[in-house]
């Protein structure tokens, strides 16, 4: 029997043209694209790829983590280059490394962190359209949005932010960190948690912008999730503003420069009008 090794991957993808991470019939998914590339290299049937978490249709990832098992004759570090030569332009393996045979991308993960980005200038911008929610209809108060987020810190039952159809046995989530800040025309929201419910970030942001627009009070926002009033949470933020930033592990074979902060923070500089050239 051929010796096997377990390979961990750091994966980036632009989710615009994907129907999410998880393999689905008659739909393009990130998992299937990468599994197909691995299978072609090994000249065998499907090689299962296990990820730290599943992203929805249209959602991006800056440092998704996944693993698979492969024959040991190919050095682990070479898999990134090998796969990148066989993958489409909207998927990239940033690095690959060997991990112990019992290491698991999903079950060994201690936390996941997502960022949601809103673009609030009334003028559209082609170059950020795929990665932000263009929300300019109302002025948003980012300080109110942060105040709404802070009580979520801790271990809470967050079924108010869970879409129907989840296979998760419970809705308890350990929220470890929250941030919300403005940078010129952009508002960024980050949440780090032990795990995320199905659709959690998009439902959370959808309700959070109502707080920022002063359509919903801080007290009402907290009442909704504390008392699990899921029927009130009707509007999910669009998927393109959401990115899986990174995943944390107690023993990780990759250095921070590879995985920790690889998704750009958008900056649009202010310019003064200039006289036309003569």
pLDDT tens over the chain, length 278 residues: 458 999 999 999 999 999 999 999 999 999 999 999 999 999 988 899 999 999 999 999 999 999 999 999 999 999 999 999 999 999 999 999 999 999 999 999 999 999 999 999 999 999 999 999 999 999 999 999 999 999 999 999 999 999 876 667 788 999 999 999 999 999 999 999 999 999 999 999 999 999 999 999 999 999 999 999 999 998 999 999 999 999 999 989 999 999 999 999 888 876 554 555 54
Give CB contacts under 8 A, 24+ apart, made by 127-131.
128/266, 129/240, 130/14, 130/16, 130/240, 131/60, 131/240, 131/241, 131/243, 131/266
Side-chain half-sphere CA neighbours of 115 within 13 A? 24
* Token pair for 195: 């795990």
Which one of 56, 177, 223, 261 is the catalytic residue? 56
Side-chain half-sphere CA neighbours of 165 within 13 A? 5
End-to-end CA distance of the chain: 77
Quote the CA–CA distance of 148 and 108 in Å, as a whole number.
30
| Cβ(12)–Cβ(88) below 8 Å | no
Quote the CA–CA distance of 22 and 142 in Å, as a whole number.
33
Report strand pairing: 172-183 vs 186-193. Answer: antiparallel
Q: Which of these, 137, 132, 134, lies nearest to 116 by C-alpha position? A: 132
Beta bridge partners of 66: 9, 51
141 is catalytic: no
DSSP H helices in the chain: 30-42, 79-84, 142-149, 200-212, 218-226, 256-259
Measure CA 235 to chain center: 19
Q: Which of these, 35, 100, 29, 33, lies nearest to 59 by C-alpha position? A: 29
| Cβ(99)–Cβ(8) below 8 Å | yes
Helix, strand, coil percentages in the chain from 3-state DSSP, rounded to 5: 30, 25, 45
Residue 185 is classified by DSSP as T
| Backbone angles phi and psi of 231, in degrees to 5 | -65, -20
Quote the CA–CA distance of 182 and 25 in Å, as a whole number.
40
What is the reported pTM? 0.93
pLDDT, residue 278, reads: 43
């Amino acid at each position: 029997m051929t010796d096997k090794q377990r390979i961990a991957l750091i994966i980036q993808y632009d989710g615009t043209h994907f129907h999410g991470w998880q393999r689905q019939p008659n739909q393009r998914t990130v998992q299937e694209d990468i599994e197909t590339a691995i299978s072609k290299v090994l000249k065998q049937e499907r090689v299962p790829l296990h990820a730290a978490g599943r992203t929805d249709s249209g959602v991006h990832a800056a440092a998704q983590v996944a693993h698979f098992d492969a024959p040991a004759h190919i050095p682990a570090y070479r898999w990134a280059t090998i796969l990148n030569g066989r993958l489409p332009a909207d998927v990239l393996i940033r690095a690959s490394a060997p991990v112990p045979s019992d290491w698991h991308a999903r079950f060994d993960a201690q936390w996941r962190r997502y960022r949601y980005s809103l673009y609030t200038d009334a003028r559209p911008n082609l170059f950020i359209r795929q990665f932000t929610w263009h929300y300019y209809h109302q002025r948003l108060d980012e300080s109110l949005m942060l105040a709404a987020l802070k009580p979520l810190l801790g271990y809470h039952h967050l079924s108010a932010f869970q879409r129907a159809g989840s296979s998760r046995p419970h809705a308890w989530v350990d929220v470890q960190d929250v941030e919300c800040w403005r940078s010129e025309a952009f508002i960024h929201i980050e949440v780090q948690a032990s795990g995320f419910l199905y659709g959690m970030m998009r439902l959370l942001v959808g309700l959070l912008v109502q707080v920022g627009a002063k359509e919903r009070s801080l007290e009402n926002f907290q009442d909704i999730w504390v008392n699990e009033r899921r029927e009130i949470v009707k509007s999910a933020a669009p998927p393109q503003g959401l990115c899986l930033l990174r995943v944390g592990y107690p023993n990780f074979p990759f250095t921070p420069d590879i995985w920790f902060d690889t998704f750009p923070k958008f900056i649009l500089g202010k310019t003064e009008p200039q006289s036309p050239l003569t």
